[in-house]
Chains A and B, each alone.
Chain A
Amino acid sequence: MKYLSEYRDPVLARSLVERILAAATRPRVLMEVCGGQTHTIVRQGLQEFLKGAVDMIHGPGCPVCVTPLEQIDRALHLASLPEVIFTSFGDMLRVPGSDSDLLQIRARGGEVRVVYSPLDALEIARTHPDREVVFFAVGFETTAPANAMAVWQARELGISNFSVLVSHVTVPPAIRAILDAPDNRVEAFLAAGHVCTVMGWKEYEPLAAEYGVPIVVTGFEPVDILEGIYMAVRQLEEGRAEVENQYARSVRRSGNEPAQELVGKVFELVDRAWRGIGEIPASGLGLRDEFAAFDAERRFDLGSIRTSEPEECMAGDVLRGKIKPFECPAFGAGCTPERPLGAPMVSSEGACAAYYNYARFQAEPAGEPA
Chain B
Amino acid sequence: MKKAAGSPEPEPVVGISRVASAGLSCPAPAGEVDRVLLGHGSGGKLSAALLRERFLPHFRNDVLAELGDAAVVRVPGDEIAVSTDSFVVSPLEFPGGNIGHLAVHGTVNDLAMMGAEPLYLSAGFILEEGLAFDVLDRVLEAMSAAAQEAGVIVVTGDTKVVERGKADGMFINTTGIGRLYSGFRPGPARARDGDVVIVSGPIGQHGVAIMAAREDLRFEVEVRSDTACLAPLVRSLHTACGSAVHSLRDPTRGGVASALNEIAASSSVGIRLEEGDLPLPGPVSAACEMLGLDPLYVANEGVLVAIVAPDKADSALEALRSHPTGQSAVRIGTVTDNRPGLVLLRTGLGASRVVDMLPGDQLPRIC
Residues of A within 8 A of B (CB): 1, 4, 8, 10, 13-14, 36, 42-46, 48-49, 63-64, 89-94, 103, 114, 116, 138-140, 142-143, 194, 222, 336-338, 347-349, 356-361, 370
Interfacial chain A residues near B365, Cβ < 8 Å? 89-91, 347-349
Cα distance A349–B289 in the bound complex, in angstroms: 15
Closest to B217 in A: A116
Of A45, A90, A194, A337, the contact of B353 (CB 8 Å cutoff): A45
- Most-contacted residue by chain A among B215, B348, B351 (CB, 10 A): B351
Q: Which residues of chain B from 317 to 367 have a CB within 8 Å of any chain A CB?
A: 339, 342, 344, 347-354, 356, 359-360, 363-367
Of A4, A36, A143, A336, the contact of B359 (CB 8 Å cutoff): A336
CB distance from B327 to the nearest CB of A (A): 23
CB distance from A232 to the nearest CB of B (A): 19
Is there contact, CB below 8 Å, between B344 and A361?
A: yes
CB distance from A14 to the nearest CB of B (A): 8
Cα distance A356–B353 in the bound complex, in angstroms: 10
Of B286, B344, B349, B353, the contact of A10 (CB 8 Å cutoff): B349
Interfacial chain A residues near B367, Cβ < 8 Å? 36, 63, 139-140, 142-143, 194
Interfacial chain B residues near A114, Cβ < 8 Å? 363-364
Is there contact, CB below 8 Å, between A359 and B353?
A: yes
- Most-contacted residue by chain A among B282, B286, B292, B367 (CB, 10 A): B367
Indicate whether B285 reaches chain A with its CB closer than 8 angstroms.
yes
Residues of B within 8 A of A (CB): 215, 282, 285-286, 289, 291-292, 339, 342, 344, 347-354, 356, 359-360, 363-367
Interfacial chain B residues near A64, Cβ < 8 Å? 366
Interfacial chain A residues near B349, Cβ < 8 Å? 8, 10, 13-14, 44-46, 49, 222
Is there contact, CB below 8 Å, between B359 and A94?
A: yes
Cα distance A138–B367 in the bound complex, in angstroms: 11
Closest to A48 in B: B351
Known: A114-B364, A361-B339, A361-B344. 10 other contacts (CB 8 A): A14-B349, A91-B365, A91-B366, A93-B363, A94-B359, A337-B359, A349-B365, A357-B354, A357-B356, A360-B354
Is there contact, CB below 8 Å, between B366 and A138?
A: yes
Is there contact, CB below 8 Å, between A4 and B364?
A: no
Is there contact, CB below 8 Å, between A45 and B347?
A: yes
Of A8, A89, A138, the contact of B364 (CB 8 Å cutoff): A89
The 9 closest A-B pairs by CB, nearest first: A45-B351, A90-B363, A90-B364, A358-B353, A337-B359, A338-B359, A89-B366, A48-B351, A142-B367
Cα distance A357–B364 in the bound complex, in angstroms: 16
Interfacial chain A residues near B363, Cβ < 8 Å? 90-91, 93-94, 114, 348
Is there contact, CB below 8 Å, between A63 and B366?
A: yes
Of A44, A89, A338, the contact of B347 (CB 8 Å cutoff): A44
Cα distance A337–B359 in the bound complex, in angstroms: 6
CB distance from A274 to the nearest CB of B (A): 16
CB distance from B262 to the nearest CB of A (A): 16
Is there contact, CB below 8 Å, between B285 and A1?
A: yes
Knowing A10-B348, A44-B347, the reply to whether A359 touches B354 (Cβ < 8 A) is yes
CB distance from B365 to the nearest CB of A (A): 5
Is there contact, CB below 8 Å, between B351 and A46?
A: yes
Is there contact, CB below 8 Å, between A358 and B354?
A: yes
Cα distance A91–B366 in the bound complex, in angstroms: 7
CB distance from B136 to the nearest CB of A (A): 27
Interfacial chain A residues near B286, Cβ < 8 Å? 1
Interfacial chain B residues near A13, Cβ < 8 Å? 349
Cα distance A36–B289 in the bound complex, in angstroms: 13
Is there contact, CB below 8 Å, between B351 and A139?
A: no
Cα distance A94–B363 in the bound complex, in angstroms: 9
- Most-contacted residue by chain A among B352, B363, B364 (CB, 10 A): B363
Cα distance A264–B77 in the bound complex, in angstroms: 76
Cα distance A63–B342 in the bound complex, in angstroms: 30
CB distance from A355 to the nearest CB of B (A): 10
Interfacial chain B residues near A338, Cβ < 8 Å? 359-360
Is there contact, CB below 8 Å, between A4 and B366?
A: no
Of B339, B352, B359, the contact of A45 (CB 8 Å cutoff): B352
CB distance from A201 to the nearest CB of B (A): 18
Interfacial chain B residues near A116, Cβ < 8 Å? 215, 291, 364
Closest to A34 in B: B367
* A-B contact list, 16 entries, CB within 8 Å: A1-B282, A1-B285, A10-B350, A44-B353, A45-B349, A45-B351, A94-B359, A94-B363, A116-B291, A347-B366, A348-B363, A356-B356, A357-B354, A357-B356, A359-B353, A360-B356
